[in-house]
Amino acid sequence: MADYTYEIAWWPAPEAVKKDLNAYKPAVDVITKYTPHPVFIGLSVEKQDKFCMFVTWENTAAHGAFIAHPDRPALLQNHPSIFPSNSLSDATVYHTHLNADPLPIIQTPVVEQTILTPRDGVSLDELKDTLFRAEEVLKGMSDVCLGLVLGTIEEKPELLVVLVGWTSVEAHQAYIAAEGAQEADEIRAKIKEFAMFYVSYTRQT
């Protein structure tokens, strides 16, 4: 499923959704009218302060058709408790294109979700090569690391998105502190900044 467009979105988690992730079901029911592909929702793991979505679209235009349809504003109006302030102005929404099927990773217990900004003078291809070397190391740790995919972001083509599946947050932290220290240093040497958080996703369709 690497040829699809993957919407990765997050916004401040409303209290209704923090209390019960199933509160978002009315939105899922509408979204699935516009895509036959998997839809995942979840909360950030450590603080549960972000509501996160991972939606597979046939292409970006398919998502655009949903955004343009009256069903979308009606959803916001009819279910204000599951959106931030009855608006999505606080949302981050990216359309991504990934190098491999991400679904096995999204279904792992914990997804490390990272946006990387390359250091000045470092190309995306150079950064990708560094990440692919790290991936080879991670393949030898299949008891704790369950895969890695990366790709580009339509809205910010100068950045990379990286998704890594882990058995737990602690497993990732232990890897960084020990076996992964060298790979982490090599990646840090290539980036100017990064934004990362952990997500636990639940498949809806």
Task: Give the model's confidence band at 17: pLDDT under 50 very low, under 70 low, under 90 confident, else very high.
Answer: very high
**Which pLDDT score is estimated for 162?**
99
Q: Is a pLDDT exceeding 60 seen at residue 194?
A: yes
Q: Is a pLDDT exceeding 80 seen at residue 167?
A: yes
Q: Is a pLDDT exceeding 80 seen at residue 2?
A: no
| Residue owning tokens 């369709």 | 205
Residue ranges, comma separated, of all CATH 3.30.70.100 domains in the chain are 5-98, 103-198
Q: Is a pLDDT exceeding 80 seen at residue 18?
A: yes
H helix or E strand, kind and range, residue 173: helix 169-177
Distances (CA, A) of 86 to 73, 96, 158: 10, 26, 31
Task: Give the model's confidence band at 148: pLDDT under 50 very low, under 70 low, under 90 confident, else very high.
Answer: very high
User: 20-31: per-residue pLDDT in tens?
Assistant: 999 999 999 999
**Which pLDDT score is estimated for 84?**
79
SS (H, E, C) 96-162: EEECCCCHHHHCCCEEEEEEEEECCCCCHHHHHHHHHHHHHHHHCCCCCEEEEEEEEECCCCCCEEE
Nearest to 138 by CA among 107, 177, 180, 167: 180
The second-level CATH assignment, the architecture, of 103-198 is 2-Layer Sandwich (3.30)
The 8 Å CB, 24+ separation contacts for 142-148 are 143/167, 144/168, 144/171, 144/172, 144/174, 144/175, 145/171, 145/172, 145/175, 146/104, 146/105, 146/108, 147/104, 147/105, 147/108, 148/105
pTM: predicted TM-score of the whole model, two decimal places? 0.95
Q: Is a pLDDT exceeding 90 seen at residue 142?
A: yes
**Which pLDDT score is estimated for 141?**
93
Q: Is domain 5-98 given the CATH code 3.30.70.100 in the classification?
A: yes
**Which pLDDT score is estimated for 1?**
60
User: 49-102: per-residue pLDDT in tens?
Assistant: 999 999 999 999 999 999 999 999 999 999 999 997 656 778 999 999 999 999
